[in-house]
Structure 1
Amino acid sequence: MRLHRRLQNQAVELAAKNRWDEAVEVNEQLISLGESTDTYNRLGKAYFELGRLAEARDAYRNALRLTPNNLIARKNLDRIEELLARSATHSVSLKAGRQLVDLRLFITEVGKTALTSLIDVQRGPALAAVVTGEKVELRTDGRGVAVYDTEGTLLGRIEPKLAQRLGELMAGGNRYAAAVAHIDGRQLRVLIRETFQSPTQRGRVSFPGKLSEGAFRGGFIGGAQFDDFGEDILEEEEGVEEREEVEEEVFGGEEEELGLEEIEQDIGEDEDLSEE
């Protein structure tokens, strides 16, 4: 039992560090000790990240064999089968050069991190291959801000009020990093973090509001991990469940996303300061 628990914790940590080859080995060791739906889900994720879709499909099928109503396995299996079908017609390929990040690194201090849902989310093979933790790029586009994957494919856009603010801050010299926090159908949510504040923007908070506070309260720093398609944190077996947090709790939920009213209020405060 002690060995099982140690391997289980090791598998979670390896996934957090994107060490997928080792994650495969550890999860396979766990399976040799006894089959588990959770282990097969983790194994499927690791195989997927390595681009081994057929093996990922088999892992999720095994998860469903043990627990036919497991939503994580069902959703991921459907996604993989879609990708395999497209690959057969040469219409899609996994992004070999994509960069994955530990989302915990995005939580720094209040006002420096925001979670937002994209608008004008694009359909297509690129979106189908997006995974949680994937690094994306922010590019100003007129008065808007667009979000691209690392291969230069448009994924969606930041909603107008936040985009206006981000555009102004980026034009003023601020720099930001972004990564996928949640993907579900055509809903795509990204975490945005200020990585550099220009001296010209000193004293100006990038993201006013309670978003970062909500992320801290959710226990995100404590090591919560998500599955690759933005579902709830992969469920662990008894004894590890206290480490789990549901995705909405971790990120503060919809009501704690950066509010338009707070952006407008802060824009007004910025204008008042400039007049002084």
Structure 2
Amino acid sequence: MDSNLAQKAVSLALEGQWEEAIKVNKELLKACPDDVETLNRLAKAYFESGNIKRAKSISANVLKFNPADPIANKNLSRWKSLTEVKKSCRTSHPAANFIEEPGKTKLVSLLNLGDKKVIAKLNAGDKVIITTHAHRVCVLTLDGKYLGRLPDDLAARLIRLTKYGNTYQVFLKSLEPESIRVFIREIFKAKKMARVQSFPPDVIRDLEPADEVPPHF
């Protein structure tokens, strides 16, 4: 297999250039029609281009070569309820979005997941938003579709932090049929919260404005 062409296929996917990715992966398959990695990339590219029927067909073909292939099995599980999907306008999100920073980032699993058809159209790396309510924090797609909610203890903390003026950015870290994990990053710290970590290793009662926080905090 042409390693340079394979790398180009990967790069095109990372850049969200799905139509070009389809062409390159199809070119690779001419030399090696049963290459599972290429087939999985092609299925993904078709899915993102809006051709769910073709994506399912290719993933099913992968399982003929390797019935235990985790990527094809996961994709078919996510896509089985879909009959159509809008063409993706998604651009890639750099790995830097998931760099952990003590006190400023948090990886968390969502509770009470939303509609599986909505979730099936998403990808790891997609940006999402959080909305705060009186006693809960929900995670939504950029167009406002519900995905799940944060655990109560973390929700209570973020409600107070955002009330004081902190702001956060959220990305999908991983998606499974029954599990979604999101990566939350503090992107702005209010002056009143200057001495308060958003996500301390051990949660303590430290959610008062800076001029009210005891020195040992």
TM-score, normalised to structure 1, is 0.68
User: Does the Cα contact within 8 Å between 1:182 and 1:190 map onto a contact in 2?
Assistant: yes
Query: 2:156, 2:87 → 1: CA distance?
Result: 30
Q: Which has the larger radius of gyration?
A: 2
Query: 1:96, 1:46 → 2: CA distance?
Result: 10
Name the SS for the 2:82 alignment partner.
helix
Counterpart amino acid of residue 36 in structure 2? T
Report what 1:231 is aligned to: none
The runs of 5 or more residues in structure 1 that have no matched partner are: 88-92, 210-261
1:125-164 paired onto structure 2 within 5 Å:
125-164=117-156
The runs of 5 or more residues in structure 2 that have no matched partner are: none
Q: Does residue 208 of the first structure (1) align with residue 206 of the second (2)?
A: no
Q: Which has the higher helix share?
A: 1
Query: 1:100, 1:178 → 2: CA distance?
Result: 15
How many residue pairs are counted as aligned between the two chains? 212
Report what 2:64 is aligned to: 65
Compared with structure 1, are the counterparts of its residues 27 and 126 closer, same or farther at alpha carbon in structure 2 (3 Å cutoff)?
same
TM-score, normalised to structure 2, is 0.85
Counterpart amino acid of residue 136 in structure 1? V
Query: 2:78, 2:209 → 1: CA distance?
Result: 50
User: Does the Cα contact within 8 Å between 2:169 and 2:187 map onto a contact in 1?
Assistant: yes
User: Does the Cα contact within 8 Å between 2:18 and 2:45 map onto a contact in 1?
Assistant: yes
Distance apart, 1:203 and its partner CA? 2.6
Distance apart, 1:97 and its partner CA? 6.0
Q: Which residue, out of 159, 170, 176, partners 1:184?
A: 176
Query: 2:177, 2:95 → 1: CA distance?
Result: 21
1:1-276 paired onto structure 2 within 5 Å:
4-35=2-33, 36-84=35-83, 87=84, 93-94=85-86, 101-107=93-99, 109-209=101-201, 262-263=202-203, 265=204, 268-270=205-207, 274-276=212-214
Identity of paired residues, percent? 34
Name the SS for the 1:83 alignment partner.
coil
Query: 2:96, 2:12 → 1: CA distance?
Result: 14
Distance apart, 1:41 and its partner CA? 0.6
Counterpart amino acid of residue 167 in structure 1? I
Counterpart amino acid of residue 151 in structure 2? E
Report what 1:226 is aligned to: none
Name the SS for the 1:82 alignment partner.
coil
User: Does the Cα contact within 8 Å between 1:98 and 1:135 map onto a contact in 2?
Assistant: no
Query: 1:206, 1:191 → 2: CA distance?
Result: 13
Query: 2:135, 2:18 → 1: CA distance?
Result: 39
Name the SS for the 1:11 alignment partner.
helix
Query: 1:103, 1:95 → 2: CA distance?
Result: 23
